[in-house]
Each structure stands twice: as C-alpha cells, then as structure tokens.
C-alpha cells in the first residue's frame, strides 16, 4: 500500500512539473521607441512545447498577434505585423526574471525594446 502511494505521488509530481507555467507566460508591459514613433502595449504571452503565442494590446481595440513565436531556454523570437502598414517587426529578446530586453528589426533598421512585469 505504501509503495502504491509513493508511486502515485511520484506520478502526480511529474505531471504537475510538466504542466508548470513558463516564466514567460503571462502579462508584460512593453515599450519601444523607433523612427515610426513610440509603441507601448500590454503583451500577453503563452508558451507550449517551444512555441510562443500571444498578442500585443495597444489599446482602443488595436491588437497585434504574435506570429511565428519560439522559445528556447530564456531566448524568445517572434514576428509582429503592424496594422495599417506593410511592415513586419522581427523581434528577438532575452528573458531575465521579470525583465525582457531585445531588438526589433524592420525595413533595414534595428531598435531596442523592453518589457517588464
């Protein structure tokens, strides 16, 4: 009986660990300044099996989906298509606790961006 209980606890612990939330998951406050202007947004991200999904909420009903998102260790990469412009931001960043810092590339320019919680 005791052995069955230990096996059950071990299986439950393993299952709970595999379902654990990634440190990237959740809401973030985003900021970027570029030649196109300043972008501030609330970003919601979710990771699963190396894939990063989510969206940027810029307010007033404007939302940009995270596309082609990946996560590998503490490195994230994704694309954002800016509404109303034929522009795709190629985003890459490093996640360190409650801070994210990275670069956005578009139309031959690269600018820094950051997020925090």
Can you spell out the DSSP letters for 68-100? EEEEETTEEEEEEEETTTTEEEEEEEEEETTEE
Q: Is residue 28 part of a domain?
A: yes
Which pLDDT score, from 0 to 100, does residue 37 have? 83
Q: What are phi and psi of 29, to 5 degrees?
A: -100, 120
Number of domains in the chain: 1
Domain of residue 58, CATH code:
2.40.128.20
Residue 95 in domain = yes
pLDDT at residue number 35: 76
- How far apart CA 35 and CA 92 sit, in angstroms, is 18
For residue 58, how many other CB atoms are within 10 A of its CB? 17
Q: What is the pLDDT along the chain (117 residues), one digit of tens a residue?
A: 665 644 545 444 444 444 557 889 999 999 999 877 899 999 999 999 999 999 999 999 999 999 999 999 999 999 999 776 678 999 999 999 999 999 999 888 999 999 999
With respect to residue 4, please indicate whether it lies within any of the assigned structural domains.
no
**52 half-sphere exposure, CB direction, 13 A CA radius:** 29
**How do 26-34 and 87-96 pair as beta strands?**
unpaired
Question: Would you say residue 43 lies in a domain?
Answer: yes
Is there a domain that residue 36 lies in? yes
Identify the domain containing residue 44 by its residue range. Answer: 22-116
Give the pLDDT confidence score for residue 6 in this predicted structure. Answer: 44
Residue 16 lies in a domain: no
Q: Specify if 50 maps to a domain.
A: yes
If residue 12 lies in a helix (H) or strand (E), which one and from where to where?
helix 2-18
> Does residue 1 sit within a domain?
no
């Amino acid at each position: 009986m005791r052995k069955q209980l230990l096996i059950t606890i071990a299986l439950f612990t393993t299952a709970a660990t595999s379902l654990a939330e990634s440190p990237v998951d959740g809401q973030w406050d985003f900021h970027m300044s570029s030649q196109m202007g300043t972008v501030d947004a609330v970003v919601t991200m979710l990771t699963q099996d190396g894939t990063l999904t989510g969206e940027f909420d810029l307010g007033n009903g404007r939302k940009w989906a995270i596309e082609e998102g990946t996560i590998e260790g503490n490195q994230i990469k994704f694309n954002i298509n800016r509404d109303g412009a034929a522009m795709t931001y190629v985003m890459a960043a490093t996640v360190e606790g409650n801070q994210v810092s990275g670069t956005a590339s578009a139309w031959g320019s690269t600018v820094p961006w950051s997020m925090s919680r």
